[in-house]
Amino acid sequence: MSQPDFTKIKELAENYQPDMTRFLRDMIRLPSESRLEKEVVERVKAEMEIVGFDNVDIDPMGNILGTIGNGKHLIALDAHIDTVGVGNKEIWEFDPYEGYEDDVVIGGRGASDQEGGMASMVYAGKIIKDLGLEGDYTLMVVGTVQEEDCDGLCWQYIIKESGLKPEFVVSTEPTDGGIYRGQRGRMEIKVAVKGVSSHGSAPERGDNAIFKMGRILGELEALHGRLKTDDFLGKGSLTVSEIFYTSPSRCAVADGCTISIDRRLTAGEDKALALQQIRDLPAVRAADAQVSMYTYDKPSFTGLVYPTDCYFPSWVIPENHVVTQSAVAAYKSLFEKEPRVDKWTFSTNGVSIMGMFGIPCVGFGPGKESEAHAPNEKTWKADLVRCAAFYAALPYTYLEKLG
């Protein structure tokens, strides 16, 4: 594979900006919350076929996989194509599904998180085709489902059931122009306490589960302050996100109380540690509370159920890893400056790609983290162009680094 003309790659990406904008706006117009992605998957399939992908398949879970080339080095680009809901429409300044555009930005639910990444990936494929940049690699462009419900589940399925194991994966989650090489992990934890109900006029006859949980809540708040900090990923954290109770009536002592905990895991923390830290709390022991992980077992839009624990490991790829250095080299060759190398605050499909399966993962995607899940979500047209150029150039720099 001869060295590509990076200037031509950038020029072609710029030329395709109107096509990427049109495609992204079409995706935004199709509501695609987790488990409701069928229409947007079909729209992606149509665009992949229009631009000339060699093969396009939809797997039994509903993930769409388009390929270019047939070389021995399998390289994957990933974008989840499901979105969160729109929340309170009254605080949107425009229709979240019709969206809008001006000379600089594109607005709408999914613009940054993460359908913009899909638009850039598909047109990177067209750039590769148009400029004859195929080489001893196969590029697999993957649009994944259910990420907002259960990040990484899609790649658990792809790797375990389809037997596909790329040499590395680029996550196209928004990175605000930077190259990202890690993230904290997370867990969804349940703590349940039992009590004994009695009439509210004689609470001493019962055993109030809410009071028991109250003591646990105070100890959890203190535990948060003691959690480990990593120099790169930052601090582990926890917060109580939900609380439920059971009681015969408002005039009775509560006989059950359950809370949900959002636990963020920094480097060196895992599910065994996080669960044991909670089980060791004095109030948890005194209440004989049950501490467990939630599981996810909702069907995809195809009806397939693929159960998993709600455990999403942290991961970091070293800065001197060949994949990180290949990404940096592609960036410098295209844009003639040093990239910002950083990490995500939120969670991505990398939790399974690298966190569970050890497949190197690096991030570069259009948009900003701060736009994700927010009202008036938008992305930048210049980001779509930069990312399409980057994805088209990266296979060359990777093969060059491999020698």
Set 19, 82, 113, 151: catalytic member: 82
State the Cα–Cα distance between residues 225 and 214, nearest whole angstrom. 18
Look-up of token digits 């055993």: 207
Quote the strand ranges of 289-340, DSSP E. Answer: 290-293, 295-296, 308-309, 311-312, 315-316
Set 147, 151, 369, 383: catalytic member: 147
| Whether the Cβ atoms of residue 265 and residue 314 lie closer than 8 Å to each other | yes
Does the active-site annotation cover 95?
Answer: no
- Residue count of the chain, please give it: 403
DSSP classification of residue 52: T
Look-up of token digits 């399925």: 157
| Whether the Cβ atoms of residue 133 and residue 330 lie closer than 8 Å to each other | no
Does the active-site annotation cover 219?
Answer: no
Q: DSSP letter string over 148-215?
A: TTSTTHHHHHHHHHS----SEEEE-S--TT-EEEEE-EEEEEEEEEE-B--BTT-GGGSB-HHHHHHH
By annotation, the residues acting in catalysis are: 82, 147
